[in-house]
Amino acid sequence: MSQHSLLDPSIFSSLESKLEEETRIRDALTLILQRLERSVGAAQGLLTKVHSTPRASYPQLVTQLEAAVKDEAVIVAELNELASKHPYYKFRRPTCPCFTQRSPADL
Protein backbone atom coordinates (compact mmCIF):
# COMPACT_ATOMS: atom_id res chain seq x y z
CA MET A 1 0.00 0.00 0.00
CA SER A 2 1.47 3.34 -0.96
CA GLN A 3 1.96 6.17 1.45
CA HIS A 4 -0.70 8.25 -0.35
CA SER A 5 -3.41 5.57 -0.39
CA LEU A 6 -5.56 5.30 2.71
CA LEU A 7 -7.45 2.19 1.61
CA ASP A 8 -6.27 -1.04 0.11
CA PRO A 9 -7.88 -1.31 -3.39
CA SER A 10 -8.52 -5.03 -2.83
CA ILE A 11 -11.21 -4.06 -0.31
CA PHE A 12 -13.36 -2.79 -3.17
CA SER A 13 -13.09 -5.99 -5.18
CA SER A 14 -14.02 -7.97 -2.06
CA LEU A 15 -17.03 -5.73 -1.45
CA GLU A 16 -18.05 -6.00 -5.09
CA SER A 17 -17.98 -9.80 -4.98
CA LYS A 18 -19.99 -9.83 -1.74
CA LEU A 19 -22.58 -7.50 -3.26
CA GLU A 20 -22.85 -9.68 -6.36
CA GLU A 21 -23.35 -12.77 -4.18
CA GLU A 22 -26.05 -11.02 -2.11
CA THR A 23 -27.80 -9.92 -5.29
CA ARG A 24 -27.70 -13.47 -6.65
CA ILE A 25 -29.17 -14.85 -3.40
CA ARG A 26 -31.89 -12.19 -3.24
CA ASP A 27 -32.84 -12.83 -6.87
CA ALA A 28 -33.00 -16.59 -6.27
CA LEU A 29 -35.20 -16.06 -3.21
CA THR A 30 -37.45 -13.72 -5.17
CA LEU A 31 -37.95 -16.35 -7.88
CA ILE A 32 -38.81 -19.00 -5.29
CA LEU A 33 -41.29 -16.66 -3.59
CA GLN A 34 -42.93 -15.85 -6.93
CA ARG A 35 -43.36 -19.57 -7.62
CA LEU A 36 -44.83 -20.00 -4.14
CA GLU A 37 -47.27 -17.13 -4.68
CA ARG A 38 -48.49 -18.74 -7.91
CA SER A 39 -48.81 -22.12 -6.22
CA VAL A 40 -50.74 -20.67 -3.27
CA GLY A 41 -53.02 -18.81 -5.69
CA ALA A 42 -53.72 -22.01 -7.60
CA ALA A 43 -54.53 -23.87 -4.37
CA GLN A 44 -56.80 -21.07 -3.19
CA GLY A 45 -58.57 -21.15 -6.54
CA LEU A 46 -59.21 -24.86 -6.07
CA LEU A 47 -60.49 -24.25 -2.55
CA THR A 48 -63.05 -21.76 -3.81
CA LYS A 49 -64.43 -24.45 -6.12
CA VAL A 50 -65.66 -26.44 -3.12
CA HIS A 51 -68.77 -24.23 -2.94
CA SER A 52 -69.78 -24.94 -6.52
CA THR A 53 -68.66 -28.57 -6.72
CA PRO A 54 -71.22 -31.34 -6.29
CA ARG A 55 -70.38 -33.71 -3.44
CA ALA A 56 -69.93 -36.55 -5.90
CA SER A 57 -66.98 -34.65 -7.41
CA TYR A 58 -65.24 -33.98 -4.08
CA PRO A 59 -62.75 -36.87 -4.44
CA GLN A 60 -61.45 -35.40 -7.69
CA LEU A 61 -61.19 -31.94 -6.11
CA VAL A 62 -59.40 -33.37 -3.08
CA THR A 63 -56.88 -35.07 -5.37
CA GLN A 64 -56.20 -31.76 -7.10
CA LEU A 65 -55.85 -29.99 -3.76
CA GLU A 66 -53.45 -32.62 -2.45
CA ALA A 67 -51.26 -32.13 -5.53
CA ALA A 68 -51.34 -28.35 -5.06
CA VAL A 69 -50.38 -28.59 -1.39
CA LYS A 70 -47.55 -31.02 -2.20
CA ASP A 71 -46.28 -28.52 -4.76
CA GLU A 72 -46.34 -25.79 -2.11
CA ALA A 73 -44.44 -28.04 0.31
CA VAL A 74 -41.70 -28.65 -2.28
CA ILE A 75 -41.34 -24.92 -2.91
CA VAL A 76 -41.27 -24.12 0.82
CA ALA A 77 -38.53 -26.75 1.25
CA GLU A 78 -36.51 -25.05 -1.51
CA LEU A 79 -37.02 -21.70 0.17
CA ASN A 80 -35.96 -23.12 3.53
CA GLU A 81 -32.87 -24.72 2.03
CA LEU A 82 -31.64 -21.49 0.46
CA ALA A 83 -32.70 -19.05 3.19
CA SER A 84 -31.36 -21.16 6.06
CA LYS A 85 -27.83 -20.81 4.64
CA HIS A 86 -28.01 -17.03 4.94
CA PRO A 87 -28.85 -15.69 8.43
CA TYR A 88 -30.23 -12.38 7.17
CA TYR A 89 -32.90 -14.16 5.12
CA LYS A 90 -33.35 -16.98 7.60
CA PHE A 91 -34.76 -14.64 10.24
CA ARG A 92 -36.26 -11.91 8.05
CA ARG A 93 -39.99 -12.11 7.55
CA PRO A 94 -40.86 -12.62 3.87
CA THR A 95 -42.88 -9.96 2.09
CA CYS A 96 -44.72 -12.54 0.02
CA PRO A 97 -48.51 -11.98 0.34
CA CYS A 98 -48.95 -15.69 1.00
CA PHE A 99 -47.18 -15.18 4.35
CA THR A 100 -49.30 -12.27 5.56
CA GLN A 101 -51.27 -12.87 8.70
CA ARG A 102 -55.01 -13.02 8.21
CA SER A 103 -57.70 -12.85 10.79
CA PRO A 104 -60.45 -15.50 10.79
CA ALA A 105 -62.89 -12.79 9.65
CA ASP A 106 -60.88 -12.40 6.42
CA LEU A 107 -61.28 -16.06 5.52
The number of folded domains in the chain is 1
This prediction has a pTM of: 0.71
Does the residue 47 lie in any domain?
yes
More confident: 97 or 35:
35
H/E run at residue 6: none
What are the distances in angstroms from CA 96 to CA 8, 38, 53, 82, 101?
Answer: 40, 11, 30, 16, 11
- Answer for the pair 98, 37: CB distance below 8 angstroms, yes or no: yes
pLDDT tens digits, 6-60: 777 788 888 899 899 999 999 999 999 999 999 999 999 999 998 999 999 999 9
Does the residue 104 lie in any domain?
no
Residue 93: its pLDDT value, please?
A: 59
What one-letter code names the amino acid at 83? Answer: A
Residue 46 belongs to domain spanning: 17-94
Number of CB atoms found within 10 A of residue 33's CB: 19
Does the residue 73 lie in any domain?
yes
